[in-house]
């Protein structure tokens, strides 16, 4: 009889350049080093029973990502957290461990939305809109900076269409229903709560590109932090996965 545990972790610093498959391999080895009694699949090529909620893009930081593991035995959740943190490398930390109820969806199947903090860049990469003298030579003008009024206009639209390319296929998608929140924060940060998961996925880059096209801006980002991942409760409300 096994128990499913949901593990919440953060990733910051240089390790943000590790790809998703390497992150999976890292945690597989860390679980072995930590001596956790994880369950393995049966057959000729057994592997650890592990499910990540939402693959992290290369260079993306996270303050709240999740993966599930099945264990055959354990002392308590705090001990599991401590065992893992004892073997973690710099920049990766386990925040918490929780027990999933029997019959609960795995992490990947549960994802419905995610929070992001997006560090804005203007023109040639400067992040401070007060430095207009530095960026005007790069094609910017005094009014080429994202404002609260622009965000209000953007969100007031009933439909916001983007073009998506998947392989050789091109499709048009209305992303407005999947933008749950969009607001400016201090230090040139843009907060986004966006639809995510197998039922539809909106990336922060798509929001920046659409804002740039709509208002003739030159928005980019040199730092994206995923703050939290959400599922839905019985009433359909968004709730953190852990």
Q: Please, what's the b/e burial string for 204-227 (b: 16 or more CB within 10 A of its CB; e: otherwise)?
A: bebbbbbbeeebebbbbbeebbbb
Residue 104 tokens read as 């609960």
Q: What is the mean pLDDT of the chain?
A: 90
In CATH, what class is 3-108? alpha beta
What region, left, alpha or beta, does residue 188 occupy, with left being phi > 0 and alpha being psi -120 to 50 degrees? Answer: left
Best-predicted range by mean pLDDT (160-164, 168-172, 183-187): 160-164
Higher pLDDT, 123 or 204: 204
- Give yes or no for residue 187 having a pLDDT over 80: no
Q: pLDDT tens digits for 156-165?
A: 999 999 988 8
- Give yes or no for residue 2 having a pLDDT over 90: yes
Higher pLDDT, 171 or 114: 114
What pLDDT score was predicted for residue 180? 97
Instruction: Compute the average pLDDT of residues 214-236.
Output: 93
Task: Identify the residue whose tokens are 């939402």.
Answer: 54
- What is the pTM (predicted TM-score) of this model? 0.88
Q: pLDDT tens digits for 117-140?
A: 999 987 644 444 454 444 333 333
What pLDDT score was predicted for residue 123? 61
What pLDDT score was predicted for residue 167? 77
Question: Which residues lie closer than 8 Å to 213 by C-beta, 6 or more apart?
Answer: none
Largest CA distance in the chain: 66
Residue span(s) of the chain under CATH 3.30.70.580 come to: 3-108
């Amino acid at each position: 009889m096994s128990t499913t545990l949901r593990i919440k972790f953060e990733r910051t610093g240089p390790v943000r350049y590790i790809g998703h498959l390497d992150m999976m391999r890292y945690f597989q080895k860390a679980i072995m080093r930590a001596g956790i009694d994880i369950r393995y699949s049966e057959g000729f090529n057994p592997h650890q029973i592990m499910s990540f909620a939402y693959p992290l893009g290369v260079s993306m930081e996270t303050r709240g990502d999740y993966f599930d593991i099945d264990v055959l035995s354990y002392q308590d959740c705090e001990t599991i957290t401590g065992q893992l943190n004892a073997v973690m490398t710099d920049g990766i930390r386990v925040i918490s461990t929780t027990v999933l109820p029997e019959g609960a969806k795995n992490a990947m199947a549960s994802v419905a939305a995610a929070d992001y903090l997006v560090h804005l860049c203007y023109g040639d990469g400067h992040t401070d809109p007060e430095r207009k003298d530095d960026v005007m030579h790069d094609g910017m003008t005094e009014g080429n900076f994202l404002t609260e009024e622009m965000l209000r206009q953007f969100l007031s639209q009933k439909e916001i269409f983007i073009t998506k390319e998947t392989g050789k296929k091109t499709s048009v998608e209305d992303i407005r229903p999947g933008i749950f929140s969009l607001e400016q924060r201090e230090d040139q940060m843009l907060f986004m709560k966006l639809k995510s998961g197998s039922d539809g996925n909106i990336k922060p880059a798509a929001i920046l590109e659409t804002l740039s096209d709509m208002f003739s801006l030159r928005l980019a980002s040199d730092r994206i932090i995923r703050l939290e991942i959400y599922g839905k409760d019985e009433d359909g409300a968004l709730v953190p996965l852990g």
